[in-house]
Amino acid sequence: MAKLWPRTLPASIRSDSRRSAEVRVFDKLSNVLDDTYTVFYSSPWLGEDQLGNEKDGECDFMVAHPTHGYLAIEVKGGGISFDPIDRQWWTTDSNGFRFKIKDPVEQARSAKHELLKKLKRSPGWRDRWVPNSHGVIFPGAASPPADLGADRPRRLFCCSHEFAHGLLGWIQSRMEANGAGADKLGKDGIAAFERILAQPFNLGFRLASAMDDAKEQLGILEPTQFHILEAIAEIGRVEAKGGAGTGKTILAMEEARRAAARGKRTLLTCYSQPLANELRRRLETLPNLTVSSLHEVCRQTVREAGVLLPDGTEKTPSFSDSVLPGLFIDSLSLRPDLKWQHVVIDEGQDLFYPWWIAIDAAVSDDGVLRVFSDSNQRIYDRRTFPSSDLLVVPIRLTRNLRNTKAIHAAASIHYEGPEITAEGPNGLPVNWIAADSNEGMVEAAYREVRRLVFQEEVATDEIAVLCPDPKWVERFQVASARSSLEFVNCDDLDTERVIVDTISRFKGLERPAIILVAGSGNLMNAERAYVGLSRPRFLLSVVAHHLEIEWLKDGFNFTS
């Protein structure tokens, strides 16, 4: 197999119908050429005309060989025609539409000469006569019966039949056409072309580019779950359960939005305050819709109902999760008009029994209840959802539409429950970073942030650093104190800065890229590991002691 630059084509190139011919040639070259050949795809060049003015161009493919020199190739798809009256080339697609195109022979010839100029100006290049030639591939066009002009002999063109059955022979004959008496390009020539052509362009070599490809694919998949909302529309009370990435939060937001749009008094709530803030930010302000954490909505309802708090209770440990739900129920008994016609709960697995009694009281007599919760039995089985009391109909979410397959596989090691199918792209492999001390871990996490931002071109607002507890957050903040980068916690998600916070506070949230700091044995906990490993959408780096890495992997060995 030839050495390819880039090694693989990004999804954005493969899905572009305008580049389908180039994709076919890329795949064919990778199959027919052995590893003595080097192939450069989509290589731009900047040269000068006779007056010294800049001119730019691009070589669709350049095939280089240490013995046979190099071949510049231009590719045009569809049926090809040429009008000698105005010297215009045309291509006709499969739907019969004609489009003007540049002269492919001239494009290939110009690329050949410009590449030779670049080679000769390359530092350390030993000047010599290197075999060079040009050619044109029409993978969808019939072969010409004869020469197409004085400068367009038949041998320049590789058309559909020869492309399918004789591409290797055509390449070899083109590369040997000008090789008599020439010197070899040599390994130093191949290295020079790699410096000239492979260094400047950014086609799939930056992690940011690979993340963009995955983002595009997952963005198409996410709304496909909305049919579930139509299927349950006539059911009064439903609990939808699924693992991380199955779209629970997306569905919860869409369910609340639709209910509010129908004029229903709607509540979208959850236990986590940072998640409530994010839900509110993403839904903005909609009529008929309240988006708040459970504690917020309880306090607001108690105030509206005029219920007085017992003296001193707010300072007791049991107030938030024992006293407050009871006050909420009392307030709704006094003011039934404060109940909601449509109640949507996200991250339902976080709630314990007193909260479910309060939620039941919040739903009006003819109201609708929707609960979205995690199905990980390894973690959440102890948090019994009172389905028999609330008369909910259970449904199952079985498709992971948020994470890449690599991230899903890492998190699934710590998942036990109904099978979840990851339908996103393979994605980037998980980056496991070993460090054997607290100082080493925070330093490694900080270096990883800088690498992603300054080398891999990942935007700062796409990165979060998650730590086991507030002490580790403080350690990271100390290590990064002199950085030019800015860091905030997850109370400020609508920011261009890097998020740094604890795993528990980031529960239910997500970022394209996550750096997970395991701490010293802190992540050897199924819930914390599951939550932390499932937060990234496209890129996951884990910083941990080597023993903890082994536990986290637990035999995990995903390859794309």
Give residue-wise pLDDT tens across range 465-494. Answer: 999 999 999 999 999 988 889 999 998 888
Q: Exposure string (b/e) for 326-363, b if CB count within 10 Å is 16 or more?
A: ebbbebbeeeeebbbbbbbbbbbbbbeebbbbbbbbbb
Bridge partners of 40, per DSSP, are 5, 62
DSSP letter (8 states) at residue 198: I
The pTM of this model reads: 0.61
Which residues neighbour 124 within 8 Å (Cβ) at sequence distance 6 or greater?
188, 192
Q: Within this chain, do residues 256 and 334 fall inside the same structural domain, yes or no?
A: yes
pLDDT at 429: 92
The tokens of 149 are what?
Answer: 């002009």
CA–CA distance, 107 with 137 (Å, rounded to integer): 12
Q: What residue type is assigned to position 188 of the chain?
A: D
CA–CA distance, 344 with 367 (Å, rounded to integer): 11
Q: Exposure string (b/e) for 498-533, b if CB count within 10 Å is 16 or more?
A: bbbbbbbbbbbbbbbbbbbbbbeebbbeebbbbbbb
**In a domain? residue 226:** no
Choosing from 401, 431, 465, the residue where a domain stops is: 401
What phi-psi label fits residue 521: left (phi over 0), alpha (psi between -120 and 50 degrees) or beta?
Answer: left
Q: Within this chain, do residues 389 and 493 fall inside the same structural domain, yes or no?
A: no
DSSP letter (8 states) at residue 203: S
Q: Within this chain, do residues 428 and 383 fall inside the same structural domain, yes or no?
A: no
Q: Exposure string (b/e) for 295-311, b if CB count within 10 Å is 16 or more?
A: bbbbbebbeebebeeee
Choosing from 186, 205, 224, the residue where a domain stops is: 205
Report yes or no: 76 and 91 within 8 Å, Cβ to Cβ: yes
Q: Within this chain, do residues 392 and 443 fall inside the same structural domain, yes or no?
A: no
H or E element, residue 333:
helix 324-334
Bridge partners of 294, per DSSP, are none
H or E element, residue 395:
strand 393-397
Domain of residue 240 covers 236-401
**In a domain? residue 184:** yes
pLDDT at 313: 66
pLDDT at 47: 45
Which residues neighbour 403 within 8 Å (Cβ) at sequence distance 6 or greater?
244, 245, 411, 422, 424, 427, 534, 536, 537
Q: Within this chain, do residues 360 and 243 fall inside the same structural domain, yes or no?
A: yes
**In a domain? residue 111:** yes
Report yes or no: 299 and 324 within 8 Å, Cβ to Cβ: yes
Q: Within this chain, do residues 261 and 148 fall inside the same structural domain, yes or no?
A: no
pLDDT at 56: 56
State how far Cα 317 lies from the chain centre: 41
Q: Within this chain, do residues 69 and 100 fall inside the same structural domain, yes or no?
A: yes
pLDDT tens per residue, range 129-170: 889 999 999 998 888 888 888 888 999 999 999 999 999 999
H or E element, residue 531:
helix 526-533
pLDDT at 262: 96
Q: Within this chain, do residues 481 and 369 fall inside the same structural domain, yes or no?
A: no
**Residue in the block written with tokens 């980037």:** 428
pLDDT at 51: 45
Q: What residue type is assigned to position 388 of the chain?
A: S
Question: What is the CATH number for 437?
Answer: 3.40.50.300
Q: Within this chain, do residues 447 and 529 fall inside the same structural domain, yes or no?
A: yes
**How crowded is residue 413: how many other Cβ atoms within 10 Å of its Cβ?**
18
pLDDT at 221: 59
The tokens of 139 are what?
Answer: 């993978």
Q: Within this chain, do residues 154 and 293 fall inside the same structural domain, yes or no?
A: no
Q: Within this chain, do residues 150 and 251 fall inside the same structural domain, yes or no?
A: no
pLDDT < 70 regions, the chain: 43-57, 179-182, 199-206, 209-210, 218-222, 311-313, 381-389, 522-523, 555-560
